[in-house]
Copies of this chain bind each other. A is one copy, B any other.
């Protein structure tokens, strides 16, 4: 019984790769089951033997995108660390660059919405939470007195702020921003946010001494 399952697995991998390429080329809205079936050489109905529905397919592609994003952020934090500030800025720039280079796949991560009655599977939620990890460590170095809970909240806030700048910056709806200008803006505002957070922490800490 191995032969059948092997073929199934190979087809499933092909399907997810084809879906990834299709989203990258035509956007999430351009993903069609019939085109996918033709691409991997099977009947359109067969797609539902490999995957429960299109939602799962999009989530599986998203999982791959998140993995590559994770690698890109790891590479950014890996290279020599002059200071936690510099590391955080490099991570933010790496996030921007990844989004620009994988525009449609990155958008698909946030554009996709499940039906209200079918929530995200756990494995998908877990994928997403891994991202904050990259920001957590430099933040912990900057604010050693903060609790893990506080650091987690701050990490999510920082990530969300950078995400917003990238999301609206890469949007063609508004005035198109040249990528170098966007990178500069992000570096500048991240630097300001960190400086501001440090300043406010010192102010707070010294209040007892006054």
- Segment at the B interface, from A66-74, A133-141, A196-204: A196-204
A156 at the interface (CB under 8 A from B): yes
Chain A 155-178, CB-CB to B under 8 Å as 1, else 0, gives: 011111111110111000111000
A75 sits at the interface (CB 8 A) = no
The interface stretch among A16-24, A32-40, A183-191 is: A183-191
Q: Is A46 an interface residue when CB atoms closer than 8 A count as contact?
A: no
Q: Which of A97-125 contact B (CB under 8 A)?
A: 111, 113, 116, 120, 125
Contacts of A188 in B (CB 8 A): 157, 200
Interfacial chain B residues near A160, Cβ < 8 Å? 164-165, 167-169
Q: How far is it, in angstroms, between the C-alpha of A185 and the C-alpha of B133 when the chains are bound? A: 19
A9 at interface by CB-CB < 8 Å = no
CB neighbours (8 Å) of A196 from chain B are: 191-197, 199
Query: This chain: how many copies in the complex?
Result: 2
Q: Which of B113, B125, B164, B199 contacts A174 (CB 8 A)?
A: B125
User: Considering the chains assembled together, what is the distance between the CA atoms of A175 and B119 in angstroms?
Assistant: 13
24 contacts between A and B (CB under 8 A): A111-B111, A129-B175, A156-B168, A157-B186, A157-B188, A160-B164, A161-B165, A161-B189, A161-B193, A163-B164, A163-B167, A163-B168, A164-B165, A167-B167, A188-B200, A189-B197, A191-B200, A192-B195, A192-B197, A193-B193, A195-B195, A195-B196, A195-B199, A196-B199
